[in-house]
């Protein structure tokens, strides 16, 4: 069965994007600062997750005795510097540690709470 509808015979809910009026609930309002902050939060969340994984791996290696005292010292200094840099970046973008911990619903938070 075919219909003889032309492009102007569309139902109102199938309007083209440019036909939407301001205040239309389907219209997305983009605030550049909000987008910038959200993107920074996402990137910092990934970096924080990797930082925590590296820290746990370093602790495992120390516990297993796989690395020398010199390497332990270097790892500790590197991880402390990375943590300080993360704090500076969070402050720069106005984010807290909790802002980086994405809630995964029934799985719980992405980042373990120390």
Phi, psi for 30 (deg, rounded to 5): -110, 120
Q: How much is the average pLDDT of 2-19?
A: 52
Q: How high is the pLDDT of residue 85?
A: 94
In this predicted model, what pLDDT tens digit does every residue of 38-53 receive, in sequence order? 889 889 989 988 988 9
E strand or H helix at 55: helix 32-64
User: Residue 90 and residue 41: Cα distance in Å, rounded?
Assistant: 8
Q: Measured between alpha carbons, how far is 14 from 83 in angstroms, rounded to an integer?
A: 50
pLDDT in tens, 59-114: 999 999 988 999 999 989 999 999 999 999 999 999 988 888 888 888 877 877 65
The radius of gyration computed from the CA coordinates of the chain, to the nearest angstrom, equals 24
Residue 50: which of 9, 11, 83 has the closest Cα? 83
The answer to whether the CB of 112 falls within 8 A of the CB of 55 is no
């Amino acid at each position: 069965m075919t219909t003889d509808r032309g492009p102007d015979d569309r139902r109102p809910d199938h309007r083209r994007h440019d036909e939407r009026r301001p205040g239309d609930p389907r219209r997305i309002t983009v605030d550049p600062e909000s987008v910038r902050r959200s993107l920074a939060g996402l990137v910092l969340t990934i970096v924080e997750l990797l930082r925590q994984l590296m820290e746990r791996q370093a602790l495992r290696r120390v516990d297993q005795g796989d690395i020398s005292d010199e390497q332990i010292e270097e790892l500790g200094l590197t991880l402390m510097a990375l943590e300080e840099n993360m704090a500076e970046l969070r402050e720069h973008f106005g984010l807290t540690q909790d802002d980086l911990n994405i809630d995964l619903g029934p799985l719980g938070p992405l980042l373990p709470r120390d």
